[in-house]
């Protein structure tokens, strides 16, 4: 099988950027012909005109590759109006040229899919120009199959990116328990719910919170932390990658991620690799991968009261934390590159 993967560049921040080089390397190792084609990914501050110009450039770079005889072309994409508009010309011409284009969605906007007929129809048009789609969770699969029972969908997970060995010695520099959040600082990541919950937890039990990341709402979050009078207990690190991020995982006692909308959060996989108990919203791939009470606590959306309760439970039940740590260290073995790429290949063959 000859495979072309279209994705954001490896230096990008998202999970696709980390996943694609691993995928290509493993496919070649297994004897397949695999190529990657990277298109520029703009950040949140990029001007609209600049985005349009870059997308036009991407289109003309990608088009010659469609003429090559690939058995399957995997287009990594997202599920929102801007991305659907960006992908429409590419899908249209690949359809006319008879290419076997598979859409790989890294997350789904299920609420908009259920509520907006226009968004649903637009999504359906693009699906029908492809030859099937890869999704990240069974939750998404159930919704998408309801609307498009004639489309072939498969669920695949992302592998754990390359990580340093798990270590336990000489890494702590704090005496009190530490909660860690890592991700973009935007409302959709649940950061304001986290601030509200932590403000109550810290009055009942000595602890601290590290917030690693940046984003458009970082100034507002800093103001919120000050208004709640917990700024002495919260550390902002900014965006951290590589060794700096690994050190934060090693310093933490638990990972907190109350996000509203995710596909398969890479940070949860990284936290599990370091044996951290996890407190997160129970959505998308989180439901498929983790078990409530085994790998951590997984709560409904928009419940800062439950977030507070579960954070306090981890602080007061050290034996539970140790059990979750052991479970996560064992769980993560299922997400090595070889295992995930084998399942990825099986999914592609079902779509072929």
CA-CA distance, 296 to 328, in Å (whole number)? 9
Contact between 221 and 288 (Cβ < 8 Å) = no
| pTM of the predicted structure, to 2 decimals | 0.90
What's the mean pLDDT in 18-25? 90
The closest of 280, 263, 272, 313 to 190, measured between CA atoms, is 280
Alpha helices in 162-264 (DSSP H): 191-204, 218-227, 242-251
Tell me if 79 sits within 8 A of 136, measured CB to CB: no
Q: Is the pLDDT of residue 347 over 90?
A: yes
The pLDDT value recorded for residue 141 is 96
Q: What is the mean pLDDT of the chain?
A: 91
The per-type count for the chain, helices as H runs and strands as E runs, is 14, 12
Contact criterion met (CB below 8 Å) for 136 and 92: no
**What single string gives the DSSP state of each residue in 259-299?**
-SS-SS-HHHHHHHHTT--EEEE--THHHHH--BTTTEEEE
- For the segment 128-142, the average pLDDT, to the nearest whole number, is 95
**Can you give the pLDDT at residue 19?**
87
Of 86, 89, 79, the residue nearest 114 (C-alpha): 79
Assign 94 to helix, strand or coil.
helix
Give the mean model confidence (pLDDT) for residues 128-138: 95
Domains of the chain, earliest start first: 2-159+336-351 (3.40.50.2000), 178-334 (3.40.50.2000)
| Residue 258 DSSP code | -
Q: Is the pLDDT of residue 170 over 50?
A: no
Angstrom distances, CA of residue 279 to CA of 23, 309, 328 = 29, 11, 13
Q: What is the pLDDT of residue 45?
A: 56
Instruction: Single out the residue of 149, 148, 184 nearest to residue 265, CA to CA.
Output: 184
pLDDT at 161: 81
Q: Indicate the DSSP class of residue 25.
A: H
Looking from the CA of 124 toward its CB, the CA atoms found within 13 Å total 16
Q: What is the C-alpha R_g of the chain?
A: 21
What the block records as the tokens of 340 is 């995930």
Burial of residue 95 (CB within 10 Å: 0-12, 13-18, 19+) is middle
Chain segment 60-69, per-residue pLDDT in tens: 888 888 878 8
Q: Which two tokens stand for residue 109?
A: 């906007």
**What is the distance, to the nearest Å, from the Cα of residue 129 to the centroid of all Cα atoms in its chain?**
26
Q: Tell me the angle at which helices 218-227 and 191-204 cross, rounded to the nearest 10 degrees.
A: 30
The per-residue pLDDT for 191 is 98
What is the rounded average pLDDT of the residues 217-232?
A: 97
The SS3 call for residue 140 is helix
Q: Is the pLDDT of residue 48 over 60?
A: no
- Burial classification of residue 96, based on how many CB atoms lie within 10 Å of its CB (0-12 exposed, 13-18 middle, 19 or more buried): exposed
Cβ 183 vs Cβ 40: under 8 Å: no
């Amino acid at each position: 099988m000859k495979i072309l993967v279209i994705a954001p560049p490896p230096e990008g921040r998202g999970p696709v950027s980390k996943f694609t080089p691993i995928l290509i390397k493993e496919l070649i190792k297994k004897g397949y012909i695999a190529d990657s084609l990277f298109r520029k990914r703009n950040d949140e501050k990029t001007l609209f005109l600049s985005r349009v110009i870059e997308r036009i450039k991407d289109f003309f770079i990608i088009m010659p590759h469609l003429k090559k005889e690939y058995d399957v072309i995997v287009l990594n994409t997202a599920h929102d109006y801007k991305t659907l508009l960006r992908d429409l010309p590419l899908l249209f011409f690949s359809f006319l040229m008879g290419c076997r284009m598979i859409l790989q969605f890294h997350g789904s906007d299920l609420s908009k899919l259920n509520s907006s007929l226009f968004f649903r129809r637009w999504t359906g048009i693009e699906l029908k120009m492809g030859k099937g789609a890869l999704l990240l969770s069974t939750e998404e699969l159930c919704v998408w199959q309801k609307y498009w029972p004639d489309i072939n969908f498969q669920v695949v997970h992302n592998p754990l990116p390359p990580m340093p060995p798990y270590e336990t010695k000489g890494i702590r520099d704090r005496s009190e328990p530490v909660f860690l959040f890592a991700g973009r600082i935007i409302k959709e990541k649940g950061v304001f719910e986290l601030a509200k919950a932590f403000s109550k937890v810290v009055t009942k039990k000595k602890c601290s919170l590290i917030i690693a990341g940046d984003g458009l709402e970082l100034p507002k979050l800093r103001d919120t932390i000050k208004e709640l009078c917990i700024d002495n207990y919260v550390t902002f690190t900014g965006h951290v990658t590589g060794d700096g991020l690994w050190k934060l995982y090693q310093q933490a006692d638990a990972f907190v991620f109350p996000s509203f909308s995710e596909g398969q959060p890479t940070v949860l996989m990284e936290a599990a690799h370091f044996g951290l108990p996890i407190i997160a919203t129970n959505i998308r791939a989180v439901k498929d991968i983790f078990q409530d009470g085994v790998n951590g606590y997984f709560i409904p959306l928009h419940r800062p009261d439950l977030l507070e309760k579960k954070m306090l439970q981890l602080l007061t039940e050290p034996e539970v934390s140790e059990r979750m740590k052991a479970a996560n260290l064992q769980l993560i073995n299922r997400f090595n590159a070889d295992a995930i790429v084998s399942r990825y290949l099986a999914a592609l063959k079902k779509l072929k």
